[in-house]
Structure formats: C-alpha cells, structure tokens
Amino acid sequence: MNEHDERGTTMTGVDPDRLDDQQLMKELETIHRTRHDTLLYGSNDALRAHNERMAVLEGEYLRRNPRRFVAPGRTREGARERTADGAPQGSAQGSEGTPVGKWGPGGAGGGTGVR
C-alpha cells in the first residue's frame, strides 16, 4: 500500500509518528499555511480531511514536546497584561530579558527530545 494513500481510513499522508522532527515541522507549517484557503474555498470533505490531518500532526508534535516553550503573552493571564495598543509587554524577550527565537529558548522544537 502507498504510504500516502490509506484507503479505508480518514487520514491521508504519512503517519505522523513515522516523520522525523524536521519533516513533522514542515508538514505542520504547510497545513497551517493552507488552512485559510481550505476553510474559505474547500468542500466539506476537504475541510473535514484538513481538520483530521491537522489534529493528528498537532497531536504528534505535542506528544514529542510535552514541555514546549509557552510564551507568556499566549496565556490568558499574559493576554490580560497587554498594553492598550495590543502589543504584549516585554515582547520578544524571555523571562530573564533575553531575546527568544521562533521556537523560544532552546531552538527548534524547544522540547526534550523525548519520543
């Protein structure tokens, strides 16, 4: 059976647990980039498949990164502390005042490497 064509199941694409970390991130970036167009212009079946694929990819990411970096401004408490202009206070800085990258302290994935 072709790994991209899993007839009899609702998921299409490679099973996320078979992807390495870099491939998983690429899949997540692609599915998030295509989300808006799928919502606006996709058929109900396309949207359902997109939802299911996104859920399994995100679930795999969370399984691999249980202690991922959570930006303070992305919590309810942090959102309440935003300034009147909408910008979070101390944005682009870590808790010790050091700048953080795209994935927070510790580089891509920000996780423990636990699989």
Please give the full DSSP string across 55-73, using - where no structure is assigned: HHHHHHHHHH-TT----GG
Confidence (pLDDT) at 90:
52
For residue 9, the one-letter residue type is T
* In the chain, alpha helices (H): 21-41, 44-64, 76-80
Each residue's pLDDT expressed in tens, for the chain with a length of 115 residues: 444 444 444 557 899 999 999 999 999 999 999 999 999 999 999 999 999 999 999 999 999 999 999 998 888 888 888 765 565 555 544 444 444 455 555 444 444 444 4
Report pLDDT for 114.
Answer: 43
Global pTM reads 0.61
